[in-house]
Structure 1
Amino acid sequence: MLRITEIKLPLDHQPSEINAAIVKKLAINKADLVEYTIFKRGVDARKANAILLVYSLDVTVNGEAKVLAKLGKDPHVKLAPDTSYKFVAQAPETLKERPVIVGLGPAGLFAALILAQSGFKPIVLERGKAVRERTKDTWDLWRKSKLNPESNVQFGEGGAGTFSDGKLYSQIKDPNHYGRKVLNEFVKAGAPEEILYVSHPHIGTFRLVGMVEEMRNNIIALGGEIRFQCKVEDIEITDNQVQAVVLASGERIATNHLILAVGHSARDTFEMIHKRGIYIEAKPFSIGFRIEHPQSLIDAARHGPNAQHPILGAADYKLVHHASNGRSVYSFCMCPGGTVVAAASEEGRVVTNGMSQYSRNERNANAGIVVGITPDEDYPGHPLAGMELQRKWESQAYLLGGSTYQAPGQLVGDFLANQPSTQFGEVTPSYTPGVHLTNLDTVLPEYVITAIREAIPQFAKQIKGFDMADAILTGVETRTSSPIRIKRNDDNLQSINTKGLYPTGEGAGYAGGILSAGVDGIRIAEAVALSMAGR
């Protein structure tokens, strides 16, 4: 099979034009084209009035060797690589031990799935609830201002990514095609097949709920065990080797292979492992606001006359500005046609995030506008100092929002003019329990406010109307990534000072998003499988 890349066709091309493009590219007769599948479809939107679709195609032809020899120097025609997943080890017939996984977000989910498919019968401990029960608790915060600290946007089956845009793309290096395994398993669990080939696939919250349930059932059918509302409060370590975990109930579960996939908001777990002497270090992350515009404004700016074309869907953006105070400002987790959601996991604190459904048909577009911060400059001296910085500004947001889980907000025009907002304009904020208008000047550090004030007019040079006076800023966005890294060895992926502990995913500082977390979970599962198989 051959892979052809960079086949460019008009946005409204006919299916027959793909056949014609293949025949022309390979210089073959029509009869020699057996079949093709779309491996990837991207969009070249550099010219809004002449948008192109860009294809990578896997093609079967008669006389493949001859065609390849003829076009061997063409960088866009090569043999298609094998992207199928290869298991590295199978469980021995007499399994003496079961691996334990803490957390059932994307990293924990895929670690559990790979180990179950390999016969290792993992035990998964999730502090939160099953995904549908968790959804009810999440709605209680959004509709009733009632927070359950153990069941919310951050904690529960599916992890934080369940209440997000459901983006399934990443910039990680993936030579083993683990990302393809993630996407294939999602399709088996009910995701649309288009996620296998569109350049920026997404699923949306409602579809993710059903998919997570299907994958859970698959793990159980393969001999795995999944236990909800089981919070790990301690890890037993002897001679730098993991021996067991201890639950809040007092139950002890013995294991020498512990996968820690707790997510970026498991602050009590971070405190516990630091107390136990497991090596962690502070890492950079970003803080800022959510910004909301009419989705129609973003569509027009990005797609011009092709705005709202069904293939293009709701437009997104990616923006970066290097501010004069030395800070980098960038858009984060952009959610086309989505909503801003309450993502708090601790009482008395306000956190925002973005979410979309598969349809992406809500009125507003939203994105994080965040500023990078670093341990050396902004929270030196302690591995958990970044976590405490998050808590500080989330508490401040709670107070400025009125201490009711409403979020503090400000119109962009007023923010740029440094004056408090008193009434909403054209843009109605989507955040529930609600937005309390104020001046955001004191809700984040001065250097963050200054950098964002400088960046927004610069972003308007790329997205016309981005500095729209009635657009809304809602605070605060502080959970862009984990504030710590649980450092691990490069060879066996275990903690650098604790044998048998395998940190993974966003919480460990090794992923950023659903796809990369799933990929990291697969890598960790393979390391555990090899160790347990004695290899």
Structure 2
Amino acid sequence: MLRLTDLKLPLDHPEAALREAILARLGIAADELAGFTVAKRSYDARRRGAIVLIYSVDVDTPREADILARLQLDPESTEFARDGDTGRGTLTKVGPTPDTSYKFVARAPAHLPLRPLVIGMGPCGLFAGLVLAQMGFRPIILERGKAVRERTKDTWGLWRKKVLNPESNVQFGEGGAGTFSDGKLWSQISDPKHYGRKVIDEFVKAGAPEEISYVSKPHIGTFRLVSMVEEMRATIESLGGEIRFSHRVDDLLIDTDSVGARQVRGVVLDSGEQLRADHVVLALGHSARDTFAMLHERGVFLEAKPFSIGFRIEHPQSLIDAARFGPQAGHPLLGAADYKLVHHCRNGRSVYSFCMCPGGTVVAAASEPGRVVTNGMSQYSRNERNANAAIVCGITPEDYAPYGEGPLAGIALQRHWEARAFELGGGEYEAPGQLVGDFIKGRASNEFGAVLPSYKPGVRLGDLAPSLPDYAIAAIREALPAFEKQIRGFSMHDAVLTGVETRTSSPVRVTRGDDGHSLNTRGLFPAGEGAGYAGGILSAGVDGIRTAEAVALDIVSRM
């Protein structure tokens, strides 16, 4: 088949227009087009009121070879880029459809002495476990939290009753933190082996909408993710995998030989049970602070890494739609508008939007008692009144010094400001908040305006200046009016800031080598967000696949 890219059509084009555009691009008659499928659909909204759709399509035609040869020989073809020095060139908008099908790198031997372990069942652990199961390795997945529906009840317990379960919440449990999010499924990672396509295909098999296979910014939403995670769990179990909920890993078993080389030999659970294994996938997520401390105590190589801190901001979704789409706001193919913003501040900091949730809600995401953490969530429909996003300031390990030393200092910083937010919110998991206009002017807020916050258990208005370091407050205070230049109304007085957002990414990297093993502990395979190698559902799933392959190849090489 042929892949055609950059086919541009008006937003409200007739159904036949795409077919006609394909025929014109290829210069063929209608009866020479056997069929086509949409590989990708995006939009260009730079001209409000004149938004265009951009298609990539895979075309089936008996004239494939003739078309490629003709376009390559035609120096005037807009589908061909020719090098002025050599005369050689490459097709730019027409070419063979790439093979994105997934190929397994190994099969499990008939007699497997020890089964691989996967710690954590967020997107990374889920896909590591799934691919290992599909290759026949019958992995055991250990998840400290509960199954996804039980976990959902515990999460609602915090949101509605102010009762936190430290082992079952937004951060811990089947599906990971991504279950309570917008369910975004796009990433800017390099993916030459098309692992992202494997992630998307497995989600569609598990019940995701077909459109996530071709829209440019696919998302699923929380409620759909719940049933999909359950379906994927059933697949793993049907292939011989085993999943143990409410099983926290409290220790590692490590052998050290005469020259100091270290090899994982298993794990110790919170119950005291020991599980023997020579291959352990560490897919913790970014909030397993007690496990990071255990790894540090056991001498596993860790290092502090940068992350970001800030607030959640809420606007009317209608404001964002109008700013981005103009008179075409509300069009069903466009849906709720999103945004991506960045500002480089005078104090050397960068402030940017993160995890933007169109038509969503701000949620309580604490995992430790006495601390307040915010995050964002949307359903598939994205039809809630408010848009929300994190507005965060980048920080580096040099900023962690006042809070501690070593690789865990970033965690100490997080805990400090999460405890401060708990205090400012009144001590019952309500969050501190402030109107944007008051925040910019440096005065406390005492009454909501046109925008009502969505965070549950509730928002207590006041002054957010004491809730983050001074440099972060100054940077965000400068950035908000700057963002007004890109989205009219962004710094509106009544928009609401809710604090604090501290879990943008892991503050720790569990460093690994090119072969996937920990730098100093063989058999330990750090992966995903918690290890510092992913950021979001798609990239975490991709890293889980990569890690499963590394485990499989290492097992087979030892047999």
TM-score interval for Structure 1 and Structure 2 normalised by the shorter chain: over 0.9
Q: CA deviation at 1:378?
A: 4.0
Within 5 Å, give how 1:82-101 maps onto structure 2.
82-101=99-118
Specify the alignment match of 1:524 in structure 2. Answer: 547
Within 5 Å, give how 1:282-321 maps onto structure 2.
282-321=304-343
Q: 1:474 aligned to 476, 494, 498, which one?
A: 498
Structure 1 counterpart SS, 2:92:
coil
Provide, for residues 364-384 of structure 1, a one-character-per-residue CA deviation record: whole Å limited to 9, x for no partner: 000000000001344484100
| Amino acid corresponding to residue 108 of structure 1 in structure 2 | G
Q: 2:406 aligned to 375, 378, 382, which one?
A: 382
Specify the alignment match of 1:428 in structure 2. Answer: 452
| Amino acid corresponding to residue 206 of structure 1 in structure 2 | F
Provide, for residues 455-480 of structure 1, a one-character-per-residue CA deviation record: whole Å limited to 9, x for no partner: 00010110000011000000000000
Specify the alignment match of 2:47 in structure 1. Answer: 47
Specify the alignment match of 1:278 in structure 2. Answer: 300
Q: CA deviation at 1:533?
A: 1.2
Q: CA deviation at 1:449?
A: 0.4
| Amino acid corresponding to residue 530 of structure 2 in structure 1 | G
Once residues 373 and 382 of structure 1 are traced to their aligned partners in structure 2, the CA distance between those partners, rounded to angstroms, is 16
Q: 1:324 aligned to 346, 349, 368, which one?
A: 346
Q: 1:343 aligned to 345, 353, 365, which one?
A: 365
Specify the alignment match of 1:486 in structure 2. Answer: 510
Structure 1 counterpart SS, 2:557:
coil
Counterpart check, 1:414 vs 2:438: yes
Provide, for residues 492-525 of structure 1, a one-character-per-residue CA deviation record: whole Å limited to 9, x for no partner: 1100000000000000000000000000000000
| Amino acid corresponding to residue 51 of structure 1 in structure 2 | I
Structure 1 counterpart SS, 2:37:
strand
Provide, for residues 247-271 of structure 1, a one-character-per-residue CA deviation record: whole Å limited to 9, x for no partner: 0000000000000001000000000
Equivalent pairs counted in the alignment come to: 534
Confirm or deny: 8 A CA contact 2:249 2:267 kept in the other structure: yes
- TM, length-normalised to structure 2: 0.95
Specify the alignment match of 2:67 in structure 1. Answer: 67
Q: CA deviation at 1:97?
A: 1.3
Counterpart check, 1:353 vs 2:375: yes
Confirm or deny: 8 A CA contact 2:400 2:409 kept in the other structure: no
Counterpart check, 1:142 vs 2:159: yes
| Amino acid corresponding to residue 34 of structure 1 in structure 2 | A
Specify the alignment match of 2:487 in structure 1. Answer: 463
| Amino acid corresponding to residue 71 of structure 2 in structure 1 | L
Specify the alignment match of 1:110 in structure 2. Answer: 127
| Amino acid corresponding to residue 197 of structure 1 in structure 2 | Y
| Amino acid corresponding to residue 97 of structure 1 in structure 2 | L
Structure 2 counterpart SS, 1:120:
coil
Structure 1 counterpart SS, 2:69:
helix
Confirm or deny: 8 A CA contact 2:342 2:352 kept in the other structure: yes
Once residues 122 and 193 of structure 2 are traced to their aligned partners in structure 1, the CA distance between those partners, rounded to angstroms, is 22
Once residues 322 and 34 of structure 1 are traced to their aligned partners in structure 2, the CA distance between those partners, rounded to angstroms, is 51
Once residues 295 and 69 of structure 2 are traced to their aligned partners in structure 1, the CA distance between those partners, rounded to angstroms, is 57
Counterpart check, 1:503 vs 2:526: yes
Within 5 Å, give how 1:216-235 maps onto structure 2.
216-235=233-252
Structure 1 counterpart SS, 2:394:
strand
- TM, length-normalised to structure 1: 0.99
* Identity level (%): 68
Specify the alignment match of 2:268 in structure 1. Answer: 246
Specify the alignment match of 2:463 in structure 1. Answer: 439
Counterpart check, 1:533 vs 2:556: yes
Counterpart check, 1:204 vs 2:226: no
Q: CA deviation at 1:532?
A: 1.0
| Amino acid corresponding to residue 288 of structure 1 in structure 2 | G
Counterpart check, 1:7 vs 2:31: no
Specify the alignment match of 1:57 in structure 2. Answer: 57
Specify the alignment match of 2:150 in structure 1. Answer: 133
Specify the alignment match of 1:33 in structure 2. Answer: 33
Once residues 26 and 415 of structure 2 are traced to their aligned partners in structure 1, the CA distance between those partners, rounded to angstroms, is 59
| Amino acid corresponding to residue 12 of structure 1 in structure 2 | D
| Amino acid corresponding to residue 15 of structure 2 in structure 1 | P
Q: CA deviation at 1:309?
A: 0.5
Root mean square deviation, CA, Å: 0.7
| Amino acid corresponding to residue 507 of structure 1 in structure 2 | G
Counterpart check, 1:268 vs 2:285: no
Q: Runs of 5+ in structure 2 lacking a partner?
A: 73-79, 81-90, 257-261
Counterpart check, 1:256 vs 2:273: no
| Amino acid corresponding to residue 242 of structure 2 in structure 1 | E
Q: CA deviation at 1:534?
A: 1.6
Larger displacement relative to structure 2 (338-347 or 56-65): 56-65
Provide, for residues 169-199 of structure 1, a one-character-per-residue CA deviation record: whole Å limited to 9, x for no partner: 0000000000000000000000001000000
Structure 1 counterpart SS, 2:34:
strand
Q: Runs of 5+ in structure 1 lacking a partner?
A: none
Structure 2 counterpart SS, 1:270:
helix
